Amino acid sequence: MKIKKAGHSLQWKIILLYCMLVFLATTIIGVFLINQLEDYYVNSARTDMEKTVTEGTLMTSLTPLLPLEEHRDEIQTNVEAWAKPLSQEIFVVSDDLRIVASNNTNRGRSAVGILDDGLLLHALSGKSAQNQGYIVSGGGEIHVMNMVFPIKTEQGEIAGVLYLRSDMSSVDEAMAQSKSILLRAMLIGLLITFILSFFISRSITKPINDVTEKAEKMAAGDFSHEVQAKADDEIGRLAEMFNYLRLQLDDALSQIEGEKNKLETVLRHMADGLLATDLSGKIIHVNQAAINILQHAQPDIENEDYDSIMLSFNPGLTLETLKERCANGPDNEIFEVSGKTYDMRFDKFRDENGSEIGIIMIIQDITQRIKAENMQMDFVANVSHELKTPLTTIKSYTETLLDGVADNREIERSFLEIIDLEADRMSRLVSDLLQLFRMESKQDGSNMVEGNLIGVLSLALTKVELSIAGKHQKLNCLFDADRRIAVVMERDHIEQVILNVVSNASKYTQDGGRIDIDAFVADKEARITVSDNGIGIPENALSRVFERFFRVDKARSRSMGGTGLGLSISKQIMEDHGGRIEIDSREGRGTRVTLALPLAPSMMRGTPNID
């Protein structure tokens, strides 16, 4: 795995950090200085305007000239004289808001719209006030400061307003110039900081890059490279410790590698699946047997966590569930997935300090074992059940005969006939069981030859014609008896299957019913269909008809001498021939059985060689 170097990114982080610190410092200082400088200029302008009124004779000279409207000319003369040494506009406004005198061209006009109405009203209420704003002059806006002072009579009544307006454009220009100077100073400082921080960061990251390169080579298994410690500081100490670690790791990995090879060999050849996960659900280890059981490809399973894998396998065995169940020791769970049975044993495992670090699971496929156990139990139960009835019957009739109760010769003969029938029934049952056992254990000698399926079918139908006729049932042979369909088969066994299927059709079809038999070739298969209009099979019983000893109508089957093994044997025979048997039925509407066998190779080539 290629390890990405981090030296350049760390270097640029250091440069960025230094630049950000300088930028923040200069910005904060600059904002503070600009604000302080602006406050200074504004306060200076305000102080000058206040001095014009408080320290001069401007206000006191107006008091003898009241009322203001009657002394317009004298006030105008005084205002012009006062305004000469000042850079301010002076307005004397009467209590009816008309400009009595001014050092500009607004004399005699209404102050409303020319001066700040809010300040005028404030002054007419007897209070001094000030504000800053903008006025339109020469097509542009001018920043100004306004101040108002109430003109009072000797009795304290408001006779008018003294309004002063000062141009603040020079202050704005000074502030703009200050900001420009500060910005240039900030850029110069950042440039110097960038250059210095570049060299400082490089002196830090270069040794780190060297350690990183050596570590990458160590990760690839090369422990021959040593880091040069050029400084007696923290980085130099890091280089020394890295070299010491290199030697220790080289020795430890050599020992671990040997143990790892032994362990991997054992795990690789385990028949059971092994899966280990940490406490967060990350897969730590999984062997091939577990991958096969979980049906995951190796790359996929390494990129998923435990719960995402187990969700499709067994949602009930989540990581939290396993933690709870093995809190007090190992536990196990037996479950089925996709027709297979698994035994999953799990327990927590610990590190060298005794701390729990994960959960290990052993998954064992016990399908065949469970199947064998179930078959054994079912066999014992079913055989016991099937033998119980005839044995009970034989015993009861035998005891009756031994007790001499049946003194009538005809009754005695009837009892003996029943005993004989029940003995035959047990004999058939044992015979069928032995045949099924031989087929399943492959002990039945195979005599597979190529032959004509139509000939075997015709022979089998000849053997059941009389019994079908005895029930007045109509047997319809829809196939061409002269046709040849070649298959590789064991004649006796295929005949047995046909006889079993046709006999079942006759048994479960009422007297006078109809049985249709056809044989044909489809999809490279030889097929025989047996259809009847009998009692049919309930939908919930269709999936169980091939089970041993299963009967749809138990009383009727037993009364007709059935053992419940016929369809099981037939299915085994068809599978041994590479074919299949299928049943389609509706209760009360009849049943259709299909027997399918692969065509013989000569039939596939179009030149059948049929005996």
**pLDDT on residue 53:** 72
Check residues 68 and 230 and name the one with the higher pLDDT: 68
- Determine phi and psi for 198, rounding to 5 degrees: -60, -50
Using 50, 70 and 90 to split pLDDT, how confident is the model at 302? low
Q: What is the mean pLDDT of residues 229-245?
A: 72
Using 50, 70 and 90 to split pLDDT, how confident is the model at 381? low
Using 50, 70 and 90 to split pLDDT, how confident is the model at 554? low
Using 50, 70 and 90 to split pLDDT, how confident is the model at 608? very low
pTM for this prediction: 0.41
pLDDT in tens, 495-517: 888 988 998 888 889 998 999 99
Q: What is the mean pLDDT of residues 133-158?
A: 80
Domain range list for the chain: 270-365, 370-440, 449-604
Among candidate residues 256, 284, 296, 466, the one with its CA nearest the CA of residue 357: 284
Asked if pLDDT for residue 1 goes beyond 60, the answer is: no
- Determine phi and psi for 609, rounding to 5 degrees: -115, 95
Query: How would you list the strands of the sheet with 590-598, edge to edge?
Result: 474-477, 514-522, 525-532, 590-598, 580-586
Q: Which two tokens stand for residue 461?
A: 């139908």
Strand-pair category, 474-477 with 449-452:
unpaired
**pLDDT on residue 55:** 64
Q: Give the 3-state secondary structure of 502-564.
A: HHHHHHCCCCCCEEEEEEEEECCEEEEEEEECCCCCCHHHHHHCCCCCCCCCHHHHHHCCCCC
**pLDDT on residue 527:** 93
Q: What stretch of H or E contains 285?
A: strand 283-286
pLDDT in tens, 32-73: 888 888 888 888 878 877 777 766 666 777 777 778 777 788
pLDDT in tens, 435-452: 666 666 665 656 788 999
Task: Find which of 150-159, 239-248, 460-469 is predicted with most confidence, using mean pLDDT.
Answer: 460-469
The single-letter DSSP state of residue 327 is T
> What is the C-alpha separation between 186 and 31, in angstroms, rounded?
12
Q: Domain 270-365 falls in which CATH fold? A: Beta-Lactamase (3.30.450)
Asked if pLDDT for residue 607 goes beyond 60, the answer is: no
3-state SS, residue 147: strand
> What is the C-alpha separation between 231 and 14, in angstroms, rounded?
20
Query: By the 8 A CB rule, do 123 and 150 touch?
Result: yes
**pLDDT on residue 223:** 67
With a CB cutoff of 8 Å and minimum separation 6, the contacts of 198 are 11, 15
Q: What percent of the chain has pLDDT over 90?
A: 8
Asked if pLDDT for residue 431 goes beyond 80, the answer is: no
195: exposed, middle or buried (Cβ count in 10 Å: 0-12, 13-18, 19+): exposed
Separation in Å, CA 157 to CA 63, 66, 118, 148, 337: 11, 11, 20, 16, 105
Task: Find which of 99-113, 128-142, 287-301, 332-346 is predicted with most confidence, using mean pLDDT.
Answer: 332-346
In CATH, which of 3.40.50.460, 2.60.40.10, 1.10.287.130, 1.10.10.10 is domain 370-440? 1.10.287.130
Q: Domain 449-604 falls in which CATH fold? A: Heat Shock Protein 90 (3.30.565)
Q: What percent of the chain has pLDDT over 70?
A: 83
Place of tokens 């016929």: 566
Task: Find which of 146-150, 247-251, 607-611 is predicted with most confidence, using mean pLDDT.
Answer: 146-150
> What is the C-alpha separation between 60 and 267, in angstroms, rounded?
110
Check residues 431 and 94 and name the one with the higher pLDDT: 94
Average pLDDT, the chain: 79
pLDDT in tens, 260-291: 788 777 777 777 888 888 888 888 888 888 88
Min mean pLDDT across 350-359, 517-526, 528-537 is at 350-359
Q: Which two tokens stand for residue 113?
A: 């719209």
Among candidate residues 284, 291, 247, the one with its CA nearest the CA of residue 270: 291
pLDDT in tens, 476-495: 999 988 889 999 988 888 88
Query: By the 8 A CB rule, do 98 and 160 touch?
Result: no
Question: DSSP assignment of 415-480, as one string?
Answer: HHHHHHHHHHHHHHHHHHHHHHHHHHTT-SPP--EEEEHHHHHHHHHHHHHHHHHHTT-EEEE-S-
With a CB cutoff of 8 Å and minimum separation 6, the contacts of 336 are 342
Question: DSSP assignment of 94-141, as one string?
Answer: ETTSBEEEESSTTTTSBSBTTB-HHHHHHHHTT--EEEEEEEEETTEE
Separation in Å, CA 202 to CA 192, 216, 231, 241, 601: 16, 20, 14, 22, 81
Q: What is the mean pLDDT of residues 86-99?
A: 82
Q: What is the mean pLDDT of residues 182-208?
A: 82
Q: What is the mean pLDDT of residues 583-597?
A: 90
257: exposed, middle or buried (Cβ count in 10 Å: 0-12, 13-18, 19+): exposed
Asked if pLDDT for residue 219 goes beyond 90, the answer is: no
Q: Which two tokens stand for residue 166?
A: 């000062």
